[in-house]
Every structure is written in structure tokens, then in C-alpha cells.
């Protein structure tokens, strides 16, 4: 075969590889690349890998073959084909393939040793080789942004976080549009660094990173503000809409979040990404038809996506079929054992099934994957409460409040933990004061269920702090009346406020509370009748005593009884003066775990 024929076939095969890969036909592309490298090399130096690091150079034949192997996940073959290469693209692909081959083998060994959901205690045996090569490239200045990104991933795996952060910052500075590098960097940033934008390049990609980081560290209001700004620059971005929906979900604005997710589905009916969060909203709202429709839609799109399995698990959980829910959450984890939501939700299901040991294991796996997952910390606290181990529960609730300081549920849970008999036996007064502080934080952060107000009232009542107890009972009663609900909390508030008003001489107010109590059944009705008899007896006594008292005042010139300070103002005044209700510290026990 003459040189002209060889060159013609080389050109044709080279074009075929590019066209086939562009259309996702990876297996035919691999076959064409193998035939391309099988042509004779006479006068064909171009089939050898270029030694320059020029990013714009035309892909050569050996690199095309290696990339075809990579697309089919034959990572060892990629590393073998590219051995001895020196171009930046080829070096990155070879090192990245070695890294992925090691990760793949690590996963296989873990499954062989401990099953598909077993703990990961096996290391990537290729990390050392990849690290040595990338470290040398960085030191001699030949590492490009992609090599630095891969080096950052390796350093994260080796838990060298400071070095990894520096490396990833170099990577995003050199090539800002690599979102994978930004995501890796996000794991290394803390909430203290959100406002400071420490070391980040001055590039528009930084705004995406900071918006995502705000959501990760539960600074949801700031995250929404940043997403709003980005939406003006990228008005058609589905990613921005999805992140805004997650932020609204984190803020418990479920209606707004659901509306945003429905907008996403209207744009892309086959979208699965992020729909697990949508299913959580439908679960909380107990919307059976919508959750069923979402489960059917995602199953028809891709039955074996972790998100789909999670949505179906939520559907069965809402139907109280907890065993089936666990089965689907486990299926999601078999597809992706790093899928955080499935570990947490599976823990919730095990709690419902009273399988506390399995619940603890699931929650622990979740916090190992992401220590910022407040739901898993909260779940651990609830599980240890069920086990009557309040010291452990208190530790986990405290971690949850640190991650979600503006979530009233976290403060209510910690307050209830301080009321536990075992903790009260250590120092009853200090524990009650700590519980009061927790409940007050819950009230300040918009306790929607009204748990904190009732708890505060009962605690102050038990401590004979009548003014504070009346204050919180009245606040709770106003909340109940505004929401047009009823229950035992309302009865407790009416009885206490009636007795308090009677004791302080506000007989008209006391009578009003008793008349409301008459609408309820026994024993509150009988209690109200008894109080009314006492109140009316006191009213008759006051009326009979009034003429004599008026004559005494007229003869002596005495002033009338001073008007008492309003209840809200008096409570605030006492707290300012150093009441134990101050929020200086919610923990009376340092280092309790």
C-alpha cells in the first residue's frame, strides 16, 4: 500500500473517530481508533504523540485511541497507551485514568470484603504514583490547571486539606470555568470564609461558587440574594432555579420551593436531577397524588437513578410502608454509595421501624460523607433520646444547632433534652435554665409549631416564676387564636391565665378566660365554674367594700393603687436586670458528650 493510500485512510479514520465520539458512539469510535494506530508508520511521525504542551494542538492518533478507551472506562488501557507521553493533555488523561482505575479497584475490594453498603476502609493503591508525578510537575512548573485540579483531589483523599485548598485555588485561577474544581474547593471552605472570599480569583465563576457555598453552610438568605443577582445575568439557567428551590426548601418555604421545582419540570419534563428534594417537599406536605406522579415520571425517565429510587422510597414512606421504603433507599445506595440523602432518609425509616442500631449506622455514614448534614446530626440526637441516652443526644443536638442556628426545631429538641430526668438529676436548676434559653432561641427564630412557647410557660410555672409563666401562656394563647386551632395547650393557657388574673386582682380578665373555658368539656368546664364562683364572690366583696374605701381616701387624701407595669414590659425589664432567661450561654455543662 503506497503512502498516498495510507494518508488517505489515516485522514478518513481520524475524521471517523471525531465524528463518532461527537455523537456518543464510543464503541465504534474505539474500533476506528484502533485501526488508525494500526496503519504503517512510514513517514507518519504525526502518529506519534506530540511532545509540546500546546493546548490547541490537533489530537493525534494515539491520544484519540486513549480517549476512546477512556470513554468506555478502560482506564488501565488508557494509562498503558499513554505511557511515556509528555503533552499536558496526555499527561492529565494518563494520571486521571490511573486515579480512576485505583478508585474503581478500591470499590471492588470494598464490595468483596464487606458488601455493597459496607464501610470504606480500603485505600486507592494508585494514589501514591499519581501524587508523586503531579507533585513533581507542580514543583517544576509544568502542571497546568487540570493537573492541579487532579492533584487537589488526590490531596483531599490523603486529608492534606490546606495543601489541597492552595492547589485548587491555583487551578481555578488558571482555568476558572472548571466547575468540578470549584465543587472540590467548596468542601474545604467553612462558613467563616463565605463573606471574606478568601483567595478566590476575580472572575464571574466566583459568584456561582459563593452562591453554592452559602447553601452548603446554611446561609440560605445570602445564597438566595446571590442567586437573584446571577439570574439577571443567566436568565435561562436551570441550575440557578434548582439552587433557588433548594434554598427555599432549606428555609422551609415549601410552597415557593415547590413552585420553582414545578417550573423546572415544565422546562424539562425528563429532568431527574434535584427531584429528590422536590419529593421531600411533597412528603412534608403529604401530597400523595403529586408524589405518586413524580415517582412514575422519574421511573419512566430513568428507573435506575439514585434520585428515582429515593423518590419512590419517599412515596412508600408516606404510605407507612417502611420496609419497602428502606428497600428503595438501599437500592439508591447500591447505585451510588456516596448519595447522602439516601443514608439520612434510610436512618429516618429505621427510627420509624424502631431499629435504632441500624438508624445510628445510617446517620453515622451520612455525617462521614458530609459533616455539614444537620439532618443526620439531628437524627442521631433523636435516636439516642429513644435509647434514653440524653448525654449523647445532647451532643448531637448541639452539633445540629451549630449547623442550623436559625432553625427553631433544633433548639426545641435541645431544650427537651435538657428537661430529661437524667440530666435534671445532675443539676436541676442549671438544666432548667439551659432549657429556657434554648426555648427562647426557638421563639426568636420563629417556632411555627408553638412548642417553645408552651414549654417556656410550663417551665416558668414549675419554677414559680408566675409573671414569666403568664407572659408565655398569653403569647401562646394569642398564637393559638390567630391560627384558629385548639388543644390541650389552649386549655392549660386559659386555666393558668384565669388563676393568674384572679390572683393579681384582674377579675374582669379572669372572668373572660373562664367563660372561654366553659366551651370545653370536663374537667376544664368544672374548673371554670369553680373559678367563676370565686371571681364573682370577690367582685361582690369589692363592690361592697368600695364605698367605705372611697370615704377613707376622701378623708386622708391617699392616692389610688399605682397601675402595674404592662406584662410584656415587666418581663423584659426583669430579663434586662439579670434574669436567668438571658441568652448568654445555652449550655451549663462544658464538654458534655
> Three-class SS string for 44-69?
CHHHCCCCCCCCCCCCCHHHHHHHHH
With beta carbons less than 8 A apart as the criterion, state whether 29 and 68 touch.
yes
Which is higher by pLDDT, 374 or 527? 374
Which of 24-28, 120-124, 132-136, 451-455 is predicted with the least confidence, judged by mean pLDDT?
A: 120-124
* Cis? peptide before 523, omega within 30° of 0: yes
User: Cα–Cα distance between 94 and 98 in angstroms, integer?
Assistant: 6
Cβ–Cβ under 8 Å, residues 69 and 49? no
Q: What is the pLDDT of residue 513?
A: 86
CA 549 distance to own-chain centroid: 66
Q: What are the cell numbers at 332?
A: 439508591
Average pLDDT, the chain: 85
CA–CA dist 506, 499 (Å, integer): 10
Residue 547: the pLDDT is 62
Kindly tell me if the per-residue pLDDT of 205 is higher than 60.
yes
Is the four-CA dihedral 351, 352, 358, 359 of positive or negative sign?
negative
- The answer to whether residues 85 and 76 touch, using CB atoms and an 8 Å cutoff, is no
- Between 557 and 11, the more confident residue is 11
- The reported pLDDT for the residue numbered 544 is 75
337: Cβ–Cβ under 8 A, 6 or more apart, which residues?
116, 117
User: Which residues, 6+ apart, have CB-to-CB distance to 118 below 8 Å?
Assistant: 110, 111
Residue-wise pLDDT tens digits, 6-63: 888 888 888 888 888 888 888 888 888 888 888 887 544 444 444 443 333 335 788 8
The CA dihedral of 409, 410, 414, 416, to the nearest 10 degrees, is 10
Q: Comparing 547 with 47, which gets the higher pLDDT?
A: 547
Pairwise CA distance, residues 376 & 186, whole Å? 20
Q: Of 215, 163, 218, 158, whose CA–CA distance to 185 is shortest? A: 163
Which one-letter DSSP state was computed for residue 202?
Answer: S
Q: How far is it, in rounded angstroms, from Cα 435 to Cα 585? A: 11
Percent of the chain with pLDDT over 70: 85
Cell numbers standing for residue 140: 517544576
Q: What CA–CA distance (Å, rounded) separates 323 from 140?
A: 57
Q: What one-character-per-residue DSSP string does 8-33 give? A: HHHHHHHHHHHHHHHTT-HHHHHHHH
- In angstroms, the CA 439 to CA 436 distance is 5
Classify residue 304 as exposed, middle or buried by CB count within 10 Å of its CB (0-12, 13-18, 19+).
Answer: exposed
- H/E segment holding residue 109: helix 88-114
- Of the candidates 170, 180, 162, 177, the one whose C-alpha atom is nearest the C-alpha of residue 145 is 170
* pLDDT, tens digit (0-9, with 9 covering 90-100), for 299-342: 999 999 999 999 999 999 999 999 999 999 999 999 998 999 99
Neighbours of 267 (CB within 10 A): 11
Task: Note whether 278 and 309 are within 8 A (CB).
Answer: no
Distance CA 105, CA 103 (A): 5
The CA angle 140-146-148, to the nearest 5 degrees, is 45
Q: What is the chain's percent helix, strand, coil content, to nearest 5?
A: 70, 0, 30
Answer for the pair 493, 476: CB distance below 8 angstroms, yes or no. Answer: yes
Contact 237, 230 (CB under 8 A): yes
Share of the chain above pLDDT 90, in %: 56
* Phi, psi at 356, each rounded to 5°: -70, -35
The more confidently predicted of residues 192 and 15 is 15
The greatest distance separating any two alpha carbons of the chain, rounded to the nearest whole angstrom, comes to 136
Distance CA 329, CA 358 (A): 13
Residues 402, 370: contact at Cβ < 8 Å? no
330-380 tens-digit pLDDT = 999 999 989 999 999 999 999 999 999 999 999 999 999 999 999 999 999
Residue 588 DSSP label: S
- Evaluate whether 89 touches 64 at the Cβ level (below 8 Å): no
Is the confidence at residue 159, as pLDDT, over 80?
Answer: yes
Instruction: Kindly state the average pLDDT of the residues 96-100.
Output: 93
The answer on pLDDT for 410 being more than 90 is yes
Amino acid at each position: 500500500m503506497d503512502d498516498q493510500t495510507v494518508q488517505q485512510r489515516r485522514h478518513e479514520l481520524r475524521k471517523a473517530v471525531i465524528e463518532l465520539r461527537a455523537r456518543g458512539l464510543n464503541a465504534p469510535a474505539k474500533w476506528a481508533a484502533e485501526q488508525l494506530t494500526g496503519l504503517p508508520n512510514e513517514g507518519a511521525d504525526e502518529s506519534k504523540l506530540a511532545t509540546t504542551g500546546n493546548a490547541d494542538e490537533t489530537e493525534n492518533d494515539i491520544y484519540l485511541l486513549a480517549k476512546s478507551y477512556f470513554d468506555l472506562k478502560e482506564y488501565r488501557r488508557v494509562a498503558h497507551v499513554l505511557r511515556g507521553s509528555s503533552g499536558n493533555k496526555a499527561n492529565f488523561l494518563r494520571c486521571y485514568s490511573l486515579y480512576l482505575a485505583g478508585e474503581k479497584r478500591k470499590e471492588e475490594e470494598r464490595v468483596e470484603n464487606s458488601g455493597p453498603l459496607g464501610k470504606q476502609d480500603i485505600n486507592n493503591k494508585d494514589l501514591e504514583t499519581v501524587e508523586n508525578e503531579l507533585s513533581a510537575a507542580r514543583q517544576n512548573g509544568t502542571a497546568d490547571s487540570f493537573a492541579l485540579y487532579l492533584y487537589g483531589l488526590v490531596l483531599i483523599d490523603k486529608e492534606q486539606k490546606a495543601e489541597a485548598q492552595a492547589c485548587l485555588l491555583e487551578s481555578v485561577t488558571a482555568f476558572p470555568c472548571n466547575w468540578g474544581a470549584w465543587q472540590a474547593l467548596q468542601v474545604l471552605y467553612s462558613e467563616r470564609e463565605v463573606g471574606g472570599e478568601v483567595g478566590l480569583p476575580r472572575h464571574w465563576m466566583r459568584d456561582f461558587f459563593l452562591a453554592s457555598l452559602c447553601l452548603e453552610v446554611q446561609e440560605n438568605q445570602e445564597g438566595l440574594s446571590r442567586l437573584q443577582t446571577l439570574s439577571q445575568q443567566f436568565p435561562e439557567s436551570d441550575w440557578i432555579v434548582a439552587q433557588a428551590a433548594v434554598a427555599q426548601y432549606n428555609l422551609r418555604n415549601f410552597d415557593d420551593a415547590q413552585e420553582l421545582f414545578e417550573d423546572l419540570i415544565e422546562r424539562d419534563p425528563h429532568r431527574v436531577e434535584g427531584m429528590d428534594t422536590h419529593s421531600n417537599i411533597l412528603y412534608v406536605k403529604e401530597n400523595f397524588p403529586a408524589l405518586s406522579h413524580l415517582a412514575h415520571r422519574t421511573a419512566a425517565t430513568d428507573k435506575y437513578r439514585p434520585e428515582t429510587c429515593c423518590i419512590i422510597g419517599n412515596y412508600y414512606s408516606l404510605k407507612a410502608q417502611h420496609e419497602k421504603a428502606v428497600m428503595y433507599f438501599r437500592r439508591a445506595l447500591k447505585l451510588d454509595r456516596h448519595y447522602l440523602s439516601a443514608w439520612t432518609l434510610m436512618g429516618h425509616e429505621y427510627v420509624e421501624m424502631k431499629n435504632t442500631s441500624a438508624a445510628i449506622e445510617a446517620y453515622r455514614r451520612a455525617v462521614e460523607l458530609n459533616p455539614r448534614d444537620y439532618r443526620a446530626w439531628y437524627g442521631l440526637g433523636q435516636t439516642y433520646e429513644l435509647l434514653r441516652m440524653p448525654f449523647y443526644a445532647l451532643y448531637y443536638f448541639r452539633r445540629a444547632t451549630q449547623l442550623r442556628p436559625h432553625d427553631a426545631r433544633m433548639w426545641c429538641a435541645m431544650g427537651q433534652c435538657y428537661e430529661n430526668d437524667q440530666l435534671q438529676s445532675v443539676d436541676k436548676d442549671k438544666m432548667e435554665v439551659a432549657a429556657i434559653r434554648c426555648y427562647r432561641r426557638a421563639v426568636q427564630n420563629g417556632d411555627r409549631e408553638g412548642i417553645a412557647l408552651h414549654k417556656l410557660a410550663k417551665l416558668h410555672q414549675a419554677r414559680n416564676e408566675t409573671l414569666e409563666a403568664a407572659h408565655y401562656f398569653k403569647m401562646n394563647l394569642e398564637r393559638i387564636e390567630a391560627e384558629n386551632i385548639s388543644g390541650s395547650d389552649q386549655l392549660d393557657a386559659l386555666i393558668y391565665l384565669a388563676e393568674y388574673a384572679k390572683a393579681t386582682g384582674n377579675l374582669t380578665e379572669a372572668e373572660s378566660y373562664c367563660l372561654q373555658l366553659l366551651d370545653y368539656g370536663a374537667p376544664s368546664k368544672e374548673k371554670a365554674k369553680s373559678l367563676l364562683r370565686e371571681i364573682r364572690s370577690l367582685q361582690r366583696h369589692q363592690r361592697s367594700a368600695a364605698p367605705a374605701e372611697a370615704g377613707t381616701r376622701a378623708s386622708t387624701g391617699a392616692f389610688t393603687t399605682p397601675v402595674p407595669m404592662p406584662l410584656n414590659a415587666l418581663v423584659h425589664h426583669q430579663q434586662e436586670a439579670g434574669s436567668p432567661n438571658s441568652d448568654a450561654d445555652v449550655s451549663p455543662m462544658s464538654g458534655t458528650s
